[in-house]
Structure 1
Amino acid sequence: MHYKILLIEDNVEMAENISSILQLAKYDVTHAVNGKVGVDRAQKNPPDLILCDIMMPELDGYGVLHILNKDADTASIPFIFLTAKADKSDFRAGMNLGADDYITKPFDGVDLLKVVETRLKKHELMRTAFGNNPEDVSAFFSKTRELKDFHKLSENRPARGFKKKDLIFMEGQTPNDLYFIEKGQVKTYKVNYDGKELITGLHSEGDFLGFVPLLEDKPYNENAEVLEDTRVTIIPKTDFITLIYSSKDVARKFIKMLSNNLEEIENRLLDIAYQSVRQRVASALLKMGEKLAGSGKEGLITVARKDISNIVGTATESLNRTLADFKEEGLIEISGDGLRVLNRVKLEKLLHF
């Protein structure tokens, strides 16, 4: 694979020297003569790695990194500073901004190539191994051990089976692990002072549980209960925290998941505030049907009526009447095994009236 490297360096002689070394190693090098040009080229054609001088006119290296880190398309690109300064404050400032490494001028060509190769290898492992299925998750945490930074991580990654109504964790408990659902369904919920449940999320194959308390280092603020026989991979807290603090890619993955969770909760609150019961039930069924698509159940919704009513924010009796109406209208099918959406188009139209 031919990697693309963007070199941002205002010293022409230095840029030519670095470019020639990298090109001899078969890297595709693009040179930007200053920080502004470098940002523009990185955003228009994102490279695989960026080498950037710190001291430049108009826009220095810190400014370049700050701008690129705010852009989702460039934020995860490995970023290496080139500097003639060896002062520790410069190193600290760069690392606080999110730089991946430093090379201090003057440097040996072999040292340059080693740093570039290491950062590209690390980024490639992180990027390709991390997916939301059991094989990818296992490969991700295992492959990171090929990197020097992760050789002390725990080798044990147990899996555990849970039965229906088992609790994976409870509100108030101290988190020690990250949970990854290999198979099954789990609900997370809170209980108010009247004992009524508020379901905060439905989770199925490919979802992570409990990562927010681990990141915040706080007790669980909700319960996680199994809705059907479920198998969960247990990832030790030390593995997860080490990866979060060592890899921008992993951190961004979980930040994005957290953002999606918050957006979903906000949308549900808006639905409860402004939509009719009929619209809220239709929305819940559509979302649950999508969640179960590809799970081998052909969209069968096996969530208990009580749980669906807690998601919708209505009494179980009102939910049952609405489901009966939907069945008569041919929108859903109801059997002893659960519910199944028959007409997505008409259910979706209900959301706009």
Structure 2
Amino acid sequence: MKISKKGCDLNSCFFCRGCLPEWQAAIALNKITYTIKKGELIFREGDPVTGIYFLDRGLAKVHKQWGTEKELILRFAKDGDIIGHRGLGNENIFPVSATALEESTACFFPLDFFLTTLKVNHAFTYDLMMFYARELQESERKMRNLVHMPVKGRLAYILLFLEGKFGTNGGGLININLSRQDIASFAGTTYETVFRIFQEFIAAKLIDTDGKMIRILKPETLRELVDSQMP
């Protein structure tokens, strides 16, 4: 990662929006903005936590080693999202890795300053608590699906989830460009299985694709599939 000469606007990310206006000068003084290349690690599982990152612009995946050669993607982060918060706690070790999926910029805040911000900015602390609650609910839902739901239902759920999180562009395509391998890692399955089931979805006119991008044609049918396979 390289330090960027251009800083953020101190207004767009989850961190800046939640803090007091009087805290902006302290934010500007303490933050470091990095430029991150596509495929570059932002932090690695097992690294010590020296601070917290907020994605200013771009897309990143948060992932964990699964077995010797596989990874499980836990979540995706987009513009304004926090990354690195899973490392907060007594051990101060990152239990996950984060990798940029496209050229991105991220603001880094040293850990001491971030913890001080929590004590001073009560509204931000509340927003962060609610974020943790939502993420825990989603993680529990995803883990339940991984354990109990057949792969076809998991993929239908993930397509609906991605559309809900990232929206669609003018052509109706889900506004995220993911490889089939990343989708497989998010669903806890293999590339070959994703390819086969997507071909079935395309043949049934549930989805269509444009390169790596996906358009949902029949969201109601996908929701029915998810509900029918929900444990």
Contact 1:205 1:295 in 2 (8 A): no
Q: Under a length normalisation based on structure 2, what TM-score does the superposition of the two structures give?
A: 0.83
- Corresponding residue of 1:172: 46
In structure 1, what residue type is equivalent to 2:222? L
Task: Choose the corresponding residue for 1:155, options 21, 29, 50.
Answer: 29
1:205-244 pair list within 5 angstroms: 205-216=79-90, 218-244=92-118
Task: Tell me the secondary structure at the aligned position of residue 352 of structure 1.
Answer: helix
Task: Tell me the secondary structure at the aligned position of residue 75 of structure 2.
Answer: strand
- Corresponding residue of 2:181: 306
Quote the offset at 1:270 in angstroms.
1.0
Spell out, residue by residue over 1:286-330, the C-alpha distance to the aligned partner (whole angstroms, 9 max, x if none): 111111116889523311111111211222111111101111122
For structure 1, list consecutive stretches of 5 or more residues without a partner in the other structure.
1-132
| Number of residue-to-residue matches in the alignment | 218
Spell out, residue by residue over 1:47-72, the C-alpha distance to the aligned partner (whole angstroms, 9 max, x if none): xxxxxxxxxxxxxxxxxxxxxxxxxx
Q: Under a length normalisation based on structure 1, what TM-score does the superposition of the two structures give?
A: 0.56
1:10-49 pair list within 5 angstroms: none
Quote the offset at 1:224 in angstroms.
0.2
| Structure 1 residues 271 and 135, CA gap change in structure 2 (3 angstroms) | closer
Task: Choose the corresponding residue for 1:185, options 59, 71, 74.
Answer: 59
Task: Tell me the secondary structure at the aligned position of residue 63 of structure 2.
Answer: strand
Quote the offset at 1:245 in angstroms.
2.3
- Corresponding residue of 1:143: 21
| Structure 1 residues 140 and 266, CA gap change in structure 2 (3 angstroms) | closer
Task: Choose the corresponding residue for 1:248, options 112, 116, 122.
Answer: 122
Percent same amino acid among aligned pairs? 25
Quote the offset at 1:346 in angstroms.
1.6
Structure with more relative contact order (C-alpha pairs < 8 Å, separation 6 or more): 2
| Structure 1 residues 266 and 231, CA gap change in structure 2 (3 angstroms) | same
For structure 2, list consecutive stretches of 5 or more residues without a partner in the other structure.
1-10
Task: Choose the corresponding residue for 2:12, options 134, 137, 140.
Answer: 134
Question: 2:186 & 2:19 partners in 1: Cα distance?
Answer: 34
1:248-267 pair list within 5 angstroms: 248-267=122-141
Spell out, residue by residue over 1:12-33, the C-alpha distance to the aligned partner (whole angstroms, 9 max, x if none): xxxxxxxxxxxxxxxxxxxxxx
Quote the offset at 1:253 in angstroms.
1.8
Task: Tell me the secondary structure at the aligned position of residue 93 of structure 2.
Answer: coil
Task: Choose the corresponding residue for 1:351, options 218, 226, 231.
Answer: 226
* Pairwise CA RMSD: 2.7
Question: 2:122 & 2:16 partners in 1: Cα distance?
Answer: 19
Question: 1:177 & 1:251 partners in 2: Cα distance?
Answer: 16
Contact 1:178 1:234 in 2 (8 A): yes
- Corresponding residue of 1:315: 190
In structure 1, what residue type is equivalent to 2:94? Y
Question: 2:79 & 2:19 partners in 1: Cα distance?
Answer: 18
Quote the offset at 1:222 in angstroms.
0.7
